[in-house]
Each structure stands twice: as structure tokens, then as C-alpha cells.
């Protein structure tokens, strides 16, 4: 039996079989899976109005369209699965069991401080840092590496607690969004002089959704009018019932500014950890964990703070985190001191990476440098393909015929630290200029602007935003020049937002509104075989103007629309304008359906200023 014809191409039809494709796959990849000639798929897709070459990365929507046409169910592999499969190909299972009971050792809890703005998160993190200066570290914590560890005496035992040193919810949610759960316990700060506020509830929701126990720090009890009991009362509505009210949440009254009861708060963290969590990990395996912060250090190159979650990290380890890899050259703690071993829950600043990882990128130690490099390179290739698929301008037959209705500003964001890139992205996505203009962030990352960024931008006519970063080299700058890619540099987020907003407004197609010019009544119709019918009119209102837009109204009904005053005469003379109260001859060009008694209305389209 002959294969049926699909879109003019002879192709065997599927029976709804599933075809799994990675992000950034091409028609050639699809063709290989279903054993057909890629050229045929190009042709079928062309028939569907999309022009794509066989090796171009194609987006999910296009694959689905093609799949429907050919009788296959397209399943795009999720980024998480893709990465899992990648690691499997290196015989690595990131989430493998850590070993039996004997292999596990207690590890410190990792704490994130959240709460409403101005309720004292930053002050509290400061106070905790000061409270716990280890004797020998008289200078205190000098380096902000994104996390720090304090040591607390509890039941006659010295115990450590790790604090993520970024107040606010962004870090917490950004990491969760990437599937990285770093936080064991949330300290929810609520100012006793203010009470439960929107971000208090937001923080609480994030923590509860992640199943993370909460310790409430009722802050600013030194302020007059502070009412800690009211906070306890308010929070019962959100299922946070204080222990003294018969619930299981610990509330501690503190004052971060004068440093009051900080020790009690730390104790509550340990008590909660012991009661609610089984915090153990295997320290005797190659280290794994999460990058919580990264930046480009002028002297030291890319540096990243990683939190070890299992195993022990040591200098010399071959590490890969996201698309960045390297051999750990040195590890530093929050005192700027070298660290020889980082065990579970220990945050350290790692030197020796090739690039800056993103907040939330998981890291692992590979068997050797080569493996680490290969994993990073494969990830980079996967990301590039996925970005290309997303960025590929959909050249459709339709868009050839009609101009697209939506204008899109494509942006690539590069910044010096992951936090600022995320903040900038968040703020940019909040710019609202209506439905006609889209802002599309096709790629983001930390570090210098690379040739890869420029290539991406040139494919989709994007603009590159460099936030405190510059092109990697002269070559990259030249490439941008050659490709006509604009790079804009900023060091202040607000400046970037303002300019982008202005650019978006500039991209808005002008909105036009109709402005009435005048009305004329047809008193007589002159027929001319040469130039068609001419309307002998009396201008009853406003003016008639040559080349103005016009419509013809008969008995109150528009019978001709989109017409033009092709010629306008007074007596025998061609004129440009005739005012009301005067007679004139009007030709509407090829439109000849005019009758005595009809009205000709003229109007102009004027650009409406944008608000």
C-alpha cells in the first residue's frame, strides 16, 4: 500500500506514537526518530506555513503542529529530565541514596530569613553575625559570601547553624524554581510595631509550600507600642500557632538593632530542627550541593559560593556547577580564610571556576577534570540549542503577507552577579505597556558578554544589556559591530528599566484617531466619460480638502468607506481646500456610486499621543 500524502508529501503516518525530543531539537532529529527524510519534514512544515531548515532548532509549538499533522505525539523532554539523562550518560545519579544509616552524620540546619520589607531581616542577619563571632575571629565576619555559619552552645555542645545571607524571598524562590531546596528552616521576621503584612504572608506561603518549618522572630520589641502578643494572635489565622498557645511553632521576641534575645532565637532554631527534621548527610562521598551566589571578581575571576549538601568538598576537586566547571583552586570562608574541607551544610567561596554559575545551579564533584568539562560543555550546548529554538524567528508565510501585529523587543541580560540579573529581569518583566508590545528575555547570565550572546542577539535582532559587565574581548565587540547587535551598558537598575520602558513605548505602533474635517452635500451629479462621476456639492460644515479620506453617507447609512477626495474644484480651478458655505466639484476617483442628496464626509487620521 502506498503511503498517504501529507501536505503534498508522501509520508507514512504515525498512530499517535510518542516521540521524545530534547529542547532545541531540529527537524533532522525528528526525522531520525520516525525514520523519514528530513527534507520531507521541511516540506510538510512549509505546507503548514513555516519555513525552517532541517538543522535549525525548532520550538515546541512547531513540533506539536508537525506532530499533529503526521500523527505523532510530541513529548518535549523537560530541562530537569534532560539534565538527569545527561548525568546518567556519565554514570552519575545526582539524587542517589547516600548510603546506609551508619554512613550518615548530623549536619547543621540551613536557615533563610524572610519577612516583610523593613521588618528587620537585614538587621537580624547582622545581629546574628555579630552575636557569634568565634573567639579566634576577633575581626568578625568580613566577607559577604552569600552565606555564613555561626556556632552556638546548646545543651553543653557547640553546634553550627548556616545562614543564607540574602534577606528576602527572591533567593528562596529562585532556588526552588530550579528544584534546589537549600533551606531547612525559615526564620519569619515580623515587626512587633507593625504586624502581619502582605510579604509576611507571602513568605509564610513560600515556606509552607516548600514544607519548611518556621521559627517566628517577633522583632523590634524595644520600640514603643510594640505588641508581640498581637503578632501571635494574627499568625494563628495562618496556621502558625505559638507553642505557648498549644501550637508547635516557636515564637521568639527579639530586637535586632540592640541585639536582644538573639541567643534565644538561635536556640529556637536548633530546637525546631531537632524536633521537626532529621538533618543528616553522608560526608564521605564526592561533594554535591548548590551554588547560592556567584560573581565575577576582578582579581580572582569567576567565584561562587556553594553550599555543600552531601560529601566533602576539597581543594583540587574537579567540580561542575551548571555550565561552569573547574578544579577547586582554593576555598574561602566568610572570614576570608582558606578552608581545607567543606562538609555538609558548609558554605564556601570557591575559586577556580571557568564561569559564574547561577544561583540555584546544582554542583557536583566529578571523577576527573575531563568529565567535569564534558558535562559543562554538554549543558552549555543544550542551553544554547534550547535558546536558539526559543529565539528562532518564526518566519511564516503569514508574516510575509501581513505585518505581524505584535512587536517584540528581545533582550539578553548579562550582569556581574546572579542577584542583579534576576532583579533586573524581574523588574523588566513588570514593565507594562499593553498587549501590542512584548518584552522577551531570550537569554540571561552572569559574566562578560560573549560571542555566544552576540550570536543569539543577531539571530533574533535582540539587544544585549550589560549590567556592570563588558564584552569579553575586542573580538566580541567587533562581532557585535559586524552583526549590528546593540549592546547597552548600565550600572544602575533604574536607568536600565527607564530606558527599556522608553524603548518599548517607542516601539508601540502609533495609534491613530479619526479627526472630522467637514461635510458636503451632493446637489448635482455630473457624468463625465473621461473622469467618471463628479459630485457638485455645497460644503455644509468644516472644509473639503484634496487627498483627504472620505466616506459617502446616504440616508444616514455609510455606503462608501475608505474613499479619497481625488480632485477638488471651484468653478474650473483645481483647489486644495474649500470651506463651508461654498460650492465645489468633487471626484471620488473610481467610486462612482453617487446620488443627489448623499453626503460626503471627510476626515484625517491623526496620531494619538501616548500617555
CB of 417 to ligand GDP, least distance (A): 18
Smallest distance from ligand GDP to CB 169, Å = 11
- Give exposure, 179-191, as e/b (b: 16+ Cβ within 10 Å): ebebbbbbbbbbb
Q: 567: which residues sit within 8 A by CB, 6+ positions away?
A: 531, 546, 574, 585, 586, 587
Min separation Cβ 146 and ligand GDP, Å: 16
Give CA–CA dist 382/86, Å, rounded: 10
Q: Quick one: which of 552, 553, 543, 545 has its CA closest to 518?
A: 543
- Which of the residues 96 through 115 are near ligand GDP (CB under 6 A)? 115
Q: Which stretch binds ligand GDP (CB under 6 A): 143-151, 251-259, 409-417, 519-527?
A: 251-259
Interface map 116-145 toward ligand GDP (x if CB under 6 A): -xxxxxxx----------------------
In angstroms, what is the minimal distance from the CB of 268 to ligand GDP?
Answer: 16
Given 107, 220, 288, 310, the residue binding ligand GDP (CB under 6 A): 220
Phi/psi of residue 189, nearest 5 degrees:
-90, 125
Strands 72-76 and 17-21: what pairing? parallel
- Of the residues 77, 133, 223, 241, which one makes contact with ligand GDP according to CB under 6 A: 223
Nearer to ligand GDP, 127 or 279 (CB): 127
| Sequence-ordered strand ranges (E) for 4-109 | 5-6, 9-10, 17-21, 72-76, 105-106
Of the candidates 139, 111, 142, 134, which has an alpha carbon nearest to the alpha carbon of residue 124? 111
Strand partners, 465: 413, 488
Phi-psi bin for 461: left (phi > 0), alpha (psi -120 to 50), beta?
left
**Is the Cβ of residue 106 or residue 117 nearer to ligand GDP in the bound state?**
117
**Burial class of residue 244 (count of CB atoms within 10 Å of its CB; 0-12, 13-18, 19+):** exposed
Q: What are phi and psi of 568, to 5 degrees?
A: -140, 125
**In the bound complex, what is the minimum distance in angstroms from residue 188's beta carbon to ligand GDP?**
11
Q: Is 467 helix (H, G, I), strand (E, B) or coil?
A: strand
> How far apart are alpha carbons 169 and 176 in whole angstroms?
11
Q: Least Å distance between CB 120 and ligand GDP?
A: 3
Kindly identify the residues of this chain, within the stretch 493-522, that bind ligand GDP according to CB under 6 A: none
In the window 392-411, what residues touch ligand GDP (CB under 6 A)? none
Q: In this complex, which beta carbon is closest to ligand GDP, that of residue 122 or of residue 549? A: 122
- What is the closest distance, in whole angstroms, from the C-beta atom of residue 243 to ligand GDP in the complex? 22
Told to check if 257 binds ligand GDP by CB under 6 A, we report yes
Residue 247 CB, nearest approach to ligand GDP (Å): 24
- How near is the Cβ of 229 to ligand GDP at its closest, in Å? 17
Helices (H) and strands (E) in the chain, counts: 15, 31
Does position 169 interact with ligand GDP (CB under 6 A)? The reply is no
**Cα distance between residue 586 and residue 417, in whole Å:** 68
**Size of the chain in residues:** 611
Size of the site for ligand GDP (CB under 6 A): 16
Segment interacting with ligand GDP (CB under 6 A) among 172-180, 214-222, 315-323, 464-472: 214-222
Of the pair 122, 452, the CB lying nearest ligand GDP is at 122
Give least dist CB 163 to ligand GDP, A: 14
Q: Which is nearer to ligand GDP, 120 or 471 (CB)?
A: 120
Helices in 244-391 by DSSP H: which ranges? 262-276, 369-391
User: 354 with 445: CB under 8 angstroms?
Assistant: no
297 touches 275 (CB < 8 A)? no
Binding of ligand GDP by 167 (CB under 6 A): yes
The answer to whether residue 219 forms part of the interface with ligand GDP (CB under 6 A) is yes
Is the C-alpha dihedral spanning 198, 203, 206, 209 positive or negative?
negative
CA distance 550 to 566: 10
C-beta of 63 vs 163, nearer to ligand GDP: 163
Decide whether 199 or 564 has the Cβ nearer to ligand GDP: 199
Q: How far apart are CA 518 and CA 293, in angstroms?
A: 66
Q: Could you say which of 256, 262, 313, 328 contacts ligand GDP (CB under 6 A)?
A: 256
Residues 6 or more apart whose CB falls under 8 angstroms from that of 33 comprise: 19, 20, 21
User: For ligand GDP, which is the closer residue by CB, 206 or 390?
Assistant: 206
Per CB under 6 A, does 160 bind ligand GDP? no
CA–CA gap between residue 104 and residue 107 (Å, rounded): 9
Among 133-141, 217-225, 333-341, 465-473, which window interacts with ligand GDP (CB under 6 A)? 217-225
* Shortest distance (Å) from residue 220 CB to ligand GDP: 4
Task: Pick from 131, 137, 222, 274 the residue near ligand GDP by CB under 6 A.
Answer: 222
User: Which listed range, 255-263, 334-342, 375-383, 451-459, lies at the site for ligand GDP (CB under 6 A)?
Assistant: 255-263
> Least distance from C-beta 140 to ligand GDP, angstroms?
18
CB 250, min distance to ligand GDP, A: 18
200 binds ligand GDP per the rule CB under 6 A: no
The residues of the shown chain that bind ligand GDP, judged by CB under 6 A, are: 115, 117-123, 167, 219-220, 222-223, 255-257
Amino acid at each position: 500500500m502506498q503511503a498517504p500524502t501529507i501536505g503534498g508529501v508522501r509520508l507514512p503516518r504515525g498512530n499517535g506514537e510518542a516521540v521524545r525530543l530534547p529542547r532545541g531539537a531540529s527537524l533532522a532529529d525528528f526525522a531520525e526518530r520516525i525514520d523519514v527524510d528530513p527534507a520531507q519534514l521541511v516540506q510538510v512544515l512549509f505546507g503548514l506555513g513555516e519555513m525552517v531548515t532541517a538543522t535549525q532548532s525548532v520550538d515546541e509549538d512547531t513540533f506539536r503542529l508537525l506532530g499533529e499533522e503526521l500523527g505523532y505525539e510530541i513529548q518535549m523532554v523537560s530541562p530537569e529530565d534532560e539534565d538527569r539523562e545527561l548525568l546518567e550518560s556519565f554514570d552519575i545519579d545526582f539524587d542517589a541514596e547516600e548510603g546506609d544509616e551508619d554512613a550518615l552524620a548530623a549536619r547543621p540546619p540551613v536557615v533563610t530569613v524572610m519577612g516583610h520589607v523593613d521588618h528587620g531581616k537585614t538587621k537580624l542577619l547582622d545581629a546574628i553575625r555579630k552575636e557569634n563571632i568565634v573567639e579566634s575571629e576577633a575581626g568578625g565576619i568580613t566577607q559577604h559570601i552569600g552565606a555564613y555559619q555561626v556556632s552556638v552552645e546548646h545543651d553543653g555542645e557547640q553546634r553550627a547553624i548556616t545562614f543564607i545571607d540574602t534577606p528576602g524571598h527572591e533567593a528562596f524562590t529562585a532556588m526552588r524554581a530550579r528544584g534546589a531546596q537549600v533551606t531547612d528552616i525559615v526564620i519569619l521576621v515580623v515587626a512587633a510595631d507593625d504586624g502581619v503584612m502582605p510579604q509576611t504572608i507571602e513568605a509564610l506561603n513560600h515556606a509552607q509550600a516548600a514544607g519548611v518549618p518556621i521559627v517566628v522572630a517577633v522583632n523590634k520589641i524595644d520600640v514603643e507600642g510594640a505588641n508581640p502578643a498581637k503578632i501571635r494572635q494574627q499568625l494563628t489565622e495562618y496556621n502558625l500557632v505559638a507553642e505557648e498557645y498549644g501550637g508547635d511553632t516557636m515564637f521568639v521576641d527579639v530586637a535586632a538593632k540592640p541585639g536582644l534575645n538573639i541567643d534565644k532565637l538561635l536556640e529556637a532554631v536548633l530546637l525546631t530542627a531537632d524536633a521537626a527534621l532529621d538533618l543528616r548527610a553522608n560526608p564521605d562521598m564526592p561533594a554535591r550541593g548548590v551554588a547560592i551566589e556567584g560573581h565575577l571578581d576582578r582579581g580572582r575571576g569567576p567565584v561562587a559560593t556553594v553550599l555543600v549538601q552531601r560529601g566533602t568538598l576539597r581543594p583540587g576537586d574537579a567540580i561542575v556547577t551548571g555550565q561552569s566547571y573547574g578544579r577547586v583552586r582554593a576555598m574561602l570562608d566568610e572570614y576570608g580564610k582558606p578552608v581545607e574541607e567543606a562538609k555538609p551544610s558548609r558554605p564556601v567561596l570557591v575559586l577556580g571556576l571557568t564561569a559564574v554559575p547561577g544561583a540555584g545551579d546544582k554542583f557536583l564533584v566529578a571523577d576527573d577534570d575531563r568529565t567535569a568539562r564534558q558535562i559543562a560543555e554538554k549543558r552549555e550546548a543544550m542551553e544554547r540549542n534550547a535558546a536558539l529554538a526559543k529565539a528562532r524567528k518564526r518566519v511564516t508565510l503569514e508574516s510575509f503577507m501581513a505585518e505581524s501585529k505584535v512587536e517584540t523587543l528581545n533582550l539578553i541580560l548579562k550582569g556581574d552577579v546572579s542577584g542583579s540579573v534576576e532583579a533586573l529581569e524581574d523588574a523588566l518583566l513588570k514593565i507594562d505597556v499593553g498587549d501590542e508590545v512584548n518584552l522577551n528575555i531570550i537569554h540571561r547570565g552572569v559574566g562578560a558578554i560573549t560571542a555566544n550572546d552576540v550570536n543569539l542577539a543577531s539571530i533574533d535582532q535582540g539587544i544585549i544589556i550589560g549590567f556592570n559587565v563588558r564584552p569579553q574581548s575586542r573580538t566580541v565587540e567587533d562581532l557585535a559591530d559586524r552583526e549590528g547587535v546593540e549592546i547597552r551598558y548600565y550600572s544602575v537598575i533604574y536607568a536600565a528599566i527607564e530606558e527599556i520602558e522608553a524603548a518599548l513605548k517607542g516601539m508601540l505602533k502609533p495609534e491613530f484617531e479619526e479627526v472630522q474635517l467637514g461635510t458636503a452635500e451632493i446637489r448635482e451629479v455630473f457624468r463625465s466619460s473621461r473622469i467618471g462621476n463628479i459630485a457638485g456639492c455645497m460644503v455644509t460644515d468644516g472644509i473639503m480638502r484634496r487627498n483627504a479620506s472620505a466616506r459617502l453617507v446616504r440616508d444616514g447609512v455609510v455606503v462608501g468607506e475608505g474613499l479619497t477626495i481625488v480632485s477638488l474644484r471651484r468653478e474650473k480651478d483645481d483647489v486644495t481646500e474649500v470651506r463651508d458655505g461654498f460650492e465645489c466639484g468633487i471626484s471620488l476617483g473610481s467610486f462612482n456610486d453617487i446620488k443627489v442628496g448623499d453626503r460626503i464626509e471627510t476626515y484625517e487620521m491623526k496620531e494619538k499621543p501616548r500617555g
